[in-house]
Amino acid sequence: RPWANRSEIVKELYSDLNVIKSSAGNTVTCGNLCYVLFFGWWLSVIYVLVSVLMFLTVVGAPYGKLCWKLAGYFFWPFGMAIQKTREYNHNCHVRFSKYDTIAEVNESKEGTPLLIRQEPARKDLADSHWRHFSTYVWLFLGYPVVCLAHGLVCCLSWVLIFAIPVSKMNARMVTKVLLLPPDRVLVQRLR
């Protein structure tokens, strides 16, 4: 069947999860209550337990904070969104050699640049995340437990045909969101 002839519900099932839709009405529906009954409450409990475990390790506290936020999200994800924050390089700086100078206003021509040469920042933020000890504490203690829980939810929700979007959400969580640095994940309520 051609894509244009399909219903909006079918198109949404095949769509990517990167479009954020605000909830136009009440989020308390039969399907949402079924989600909480079948998946939400126990995923939330697992995230709370992993959060406590991460806080007990002390170095895993940033991941404990993330798991605490995700526990609330997975209990009732309706009307909420998980977003990746922008990446800023806090170590960005410009180095001047001792021979580079900024010309005085009366000496320079209008087209003369103020900065002669810029060196790029040396450290990539994506690489620095994998150099932290807390990342390995997360990968060995918290991530396997949460990954197993999301895998079970993914399989169970795939069997229940109406819950395929839940399955897609859980697969995306394991492969994308949980491998980001905890300060790059933002859980917020939609307006």
**Whose structure tokens read 């920042």?**
121
As a whole number of angstroms, the distance between CA 178 and CA 191 comes to 25
- Contacts of 112 by beta carbon, 8 Å cutoff, 6+ apart: 103
Burial of 76 (0-12, 13-18, 19+ CB in 10 A): middle
63-107 residue pLDDT tens? 999 999 999 999 998 888 888 887 655 555 545 444 444 444 444
pLDDT for the residue numbered 51: 97
**What pLDDT was estimated at residue 158?**
85
* Lowest mean pLDDT across 26-35, 40-49, 59-68, 121-130: 121-130
Contact 50, 145 (CB under 8 A): yes
Backbone angles phi, psi at 100, to 5 degrees: -80, 130
The residue with greater pLDDT, 30 or 146, is 146
What pLDDT, on the 0 to 100 scale, is given for residue 44? 96
Q: What is the pLDDT of residues 119-175, one digit of tens each?
A: 454 455 556 888 889 999 999 999 999 999 999 999 998 888 777 888 888 888 898
pLDDT tops 60 at residue 22? no
More confident residue, 2 or 25: 2
